[in-house]
Each structure stands twice: as C-alpha cells, then as structure tokens.
Amino acid sequence: MSLETAYRVQRAAVGRRTSGGARIVGHKAGVTSQAMQEQMGVDEPDSGVLLDDMVLPAGSTLARAGLMQPRVEAEIAFRLGCDLAGPSVSMGDARAAVDKVCLALEVIDTRFATWRITVADSIADNASCARVVTGPMVPLRADMDPAAEQLVVSVNGTTVATGEGRAVLGDPLRVLVWLAGRLHRSGDRLRAGQLVLAGAVHASLPLETWSTVRACSPHLPPVELRVH
C-alpha cells in the first residue's frame, strides 16, 4: 500500500467518525524521533488526526480494557494561535503561530495483531493514535527553547525514559513545518486553536493496568495518566 493510499484510508475512517458527531481538534506527528523510527523500522514521519473524544485532561484515568495493545509516549504539544499553511513555512513562521505549549502523553494502539507494522499500516490506522492526555498549557515565551527541554517519564514513581525535545526532527517546532507542508499537499492546513503533538522523544513504553504514568520537564507543567 502506498503512503498516498494509506492517507486516503485514514481520511475515509476519520470522515466516518466526524459524520457520526466527532470533531477534529488537531493533528499528531508520529515516528519523528530516531528512537521511534528505529523501533518501528521506518525512516520518515507520519501524521494522524486528533478528535475531541480522544483528548483527555491531565490526571485522567483510562480503562486499559477499552484498548488493545496500548503503548505510551511523552511528547511536547503545541496549540496554534493562527493558521499555518503552505509549502514554504519557515521555523520563524511556526514559532510565531504557536499560542501555547504543554507536555502530553499519547497512548498509541493498533488494530494489527502485533506492532510489526509498516509506516503505511500506521498511517491507515490514523497514525496509531488512541488517546492523548494534555498537561496545563503555558505561553511559548521568547526565552523558551523546546529543543532543549528535557523530558523525564516515570511509571509508578520509577524513571523509565528520558529525552530532549531535539530528539524530534532536531526541534519540535520543525514538526509544524513538516506537517503544514504535508497537509498542503492534500488541500488542508493547520488551523488556529488546533492541538499538534510533535511526537515522542523516546521509544514507546507498554501501558500496563494499575499504573500511573507521569512526564515532567524543567519549564513545562507535568502531565499524569492513571490506568486501571
């Protein structure tokens, strides 16, 4: 299956969800770090669509039984203050478009029997996105460097992963540039008010029952997810 076909499958599936009442609230980029590309055996990012019923507030409790083979990733996320579109978006354009920034925990899942999937498989399955938990949002200050932000992930109080923002395409803001260009090719754009997940700064982790996952960093409020 070509990537073009995979995105057509994704758009059709998302269309069925929105026709049933779901609302698009943003986008996610996936497989943006070397760790995730090595784990998934791919060499390029993918993207998916965030729907309102997929996004949960910090501290939410998630039922593990409602998922299939969930894994969790810590990421930096942006909320846009204005539209971002076209094939020639610069890093300056991307930063200027950001209204707020936060930490996020993305729960990925797959309909495939194992996680041995191609990037096309992932794209068709909405970039494997199942749920998103967002932390408190803060303004992207002029002195804040998302690339230098060091994320620390713990499960039940034990540190299990770390990663810097620059693990994501060298700078999480570069995801906005890449995503604006990809959406432009399909006649779409990033829109004001939308949430954009920049992708994991570490290899994804199994999401187990009766666990509490927490991500923190020096300049962004922590985000937490409880699983039962």
The whole-model pTM stands at 0.94
Backbone φ and ψ of 58, nearest 5°: -55, 145
* Closest by CA position to 28, among listed 73, 69, 94: 73
Question: What is the domain partition of the chain in residue ranges?
Answer: 3-227
- What is the token pair recorded at 45? 């990012």
Contacts of 66 (CB under 8 A, 6+ apart): none
Percent of the chain with pLDDT over 90: 82
Q: How confident is the model at residue 33 (pLDDT cuts 50, 70, 90)?
A: confident
DSSP 202: S
For domain 3-227, is the CATH number 3.90.850.10?
A: yes
Helix (H, G, I), strand (E, B) or coil at 108: strand
pLDDT at site 13: 97
- Other beta carbons less than 10 A from residue 40's beta carbon: 21
* Closest by CA position to 25, among listed 193, 198, 223, 178: 193
Residue 96 near residue 80, CB atoms below 8 Å: no
Express each pLDDT in 132-164 by its tens digit: 999 999 999 999 999 999 999 999 999 999 999
Rounded mean pLDDT of the chain?
Answer: 93
Residue 131 near residue 25, CB atoms below 8 Å: no
Residue 119 has pLDDT above 90, yes or no: no
Backbone φ and ψ of 78, nearest 5°: -125, 145
Express each pLDDT in 207-219 by its tens digit: 999 999 999 999 9
Residue 197 has pLDDT above 90, yes or no: yes
Q: How confident is the model at residue 102 (pLDDT cuts 50, 70, 90)?
A: very high
Q: How confident is the model at residue 30 (pLDDT cuts 50, 70, 90)?
A: confident
Helix (H, G, I), strand (E, B) or coil at 125: coil
